[in-house]
Amino acid sequence: MKKAAFLDRDGVLNRKAPEGQYVTRWEEMKFLPGADAAIRLLNEAGFLVVVVSNQRCVAKGLITSGDLEAMHARMHREFAAAGARIDAIYYCPHDYEPPCSCRKPKPGMLFDAAQALDIDLGASWMIGDSTQDVEAGMAAGCSTAQLIEDGISGNRGARVTAPSLLEAVHKILQFESAVVPMQSDPAAPETGSSTSSSTSGRPKKS
Ligand SMILES: [Mg+2]
Ligand SMILES: [Zn+2]
């Protein structure tokens, strides 16, 4: 089984559209600084990189699923050209009603990916900018990271918070190197500031 980093799309990889609007054209797809570097780090650390995105704009008729998939294919190519490998892109095209099993905070997309790609959810992370992302990650049994402007406010229990994907990934990799698998401490500090506090007698996994 493999570990994965599940990434939300809007507000994580690309700039979010203004409130109530959606990214429906390639011209509106503006990648955030450091997103490619963050994905490269995840690749190198052995994570599958899986995008999981709510795209209610499909249900609202603002974009067809074909056009959305074409945009995702182009996004995949652009990152690949920068040496950043995205392993899969999942999206929920549904509206709030009727309820589906894939729209975050439901964990359906994470479960689907886990089955298709042989992912160990307990060894995986969900990284997003909204509480729905954190809730979906928790519901799937993943560790969670939330991107928050100032890195503090509005955190609803994510293990790691950071202002950008790249900084979140740095913290996650520090966190991973400090935590012995299967002994994760629920009371561990959320900041991941564990640079060189080597505790005695902990077996070192690499
Ligand atoms: Mg988002
Ligand atoms: Zn759905």
Domain membership of residue 115 (yes or no) is yes
pLDDT range class, residue 181, cuts 50, 70, 90: low
Average pLDDT score over residue span 143-170: 86
Domain membership of residue 146 (yes or no) is yes
Distance (angstroms) between ligand 2 centre and the Cα of 104 equals 8
Average pLDDT score over residue span 143-165: 84
Chain segment 67-91, per-residue pLDDT in tens: 999 999 999 999 999 999 999 999 9
| pLDDT recorded at residue 178 | 82
Ligand nearest, relative to CA of residue 52: 1
Distance (angstroms) between ligand 2 centre and the Cα of 93 equals 6
**Domain extent at residue 13:** 3-178
Find the CATH number of the domain harbouring 125. Answer: 3.40.50.1000
Chain segment 106-120, per-residue pLDDT in tens: 999 999 999 999 999
Domain membership of residue 193 (yes or no) is no
State the catalytic residues.
Answer: 8, 10
With beta carbons less than 8 A apart as the criterion, state whether 113 and 52 touch. Answer: yes
Looking at the 3D structure of the chain, how many domains does it have?
1
**3-state SS class at 206:** coil
Domain membership of residue 195 (yes or no) is no
Cα→Cα distances 198→27, 185, 186, Å:
47, 16, 19
Q: Which residues are within 8 A (CB) of 172 and not within 5 positions of it... i.e. 6 or more apart?
A: 5, 125, 127, 143, 145, 160, 192
Domain membership of residue 143 (yes or no) is yes
